[in-house]
């Protein structure tokens, strides 16, 4: 089997439900493995992430300060037959 299909099989397996005791045990072990400087850093980062969702949403979205460019950045010559390019794209999309 290829590594990709092995990973897909592993990801598709049902994981056993974690109990509250398992979650607490995991968190305590994670805290035990952290350095003393890492603990307050992670606490403040978690608080900031949760407080960000309580921020009031902006009621006003500023207008765009630029107009879209009028010239194309890809120049297509006049009279170009798109058929070979469309056929190649269809072959690529078809996987052949």
Express each pLDDT in 45-56 by its tens digit.
989 888 877 766
What is the rounded CA–CA span in Å between residue 67 and residue 59?
A: 23
> For 58-88, what is each residue's pLDDT tens digit?
667 778 888 877 776 777 888 999 999 999 9
Report the pLDDT value the prediction gives residue 92, as an integer from 0 to 100: 95
pLDDT at 37 over 60: yes
What is the rounded CA–CA span in Å between residue 95 and residue 64?
A: 40
How much is the average pLDDT of 38-42? 93
Least confident segment among 9-13, 23-27, 29-33, 43-47: 9-13
Q: Are 14 and 6 in contact (CB under 8 A)?
A: no
Give every CB contact of residue 10 below 8 A, 6+ residues apart in sequence. Answer: none
pLDDT at 5 over 90: no
- If DSSP codes are grouped into helix, strand and coil, which group holds residue 39? helix
The DSSP letter of residue 54 is T
């Amino acid at each position: 089997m290829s590594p990709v299909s092995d990973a897909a099989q592993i990801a598709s397996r049902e994981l056993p439900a974690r109990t509250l005791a398992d979650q607490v045990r995991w968190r305590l072990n994670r805290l035990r493995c952290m350095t003393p400087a890492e603990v307050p850093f992670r606490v403040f980062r978690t608080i900031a992430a949760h407080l960000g969702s309580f921020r009031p949403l902006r009621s006003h979205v500023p207008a765009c300060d630029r107009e879209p460019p009028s010239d194309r950045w890809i120049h297509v010559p006049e009279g170009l037959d798109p058929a070979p390019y469309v056929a190649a794209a269809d072959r690529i999309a078809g996987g052949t």
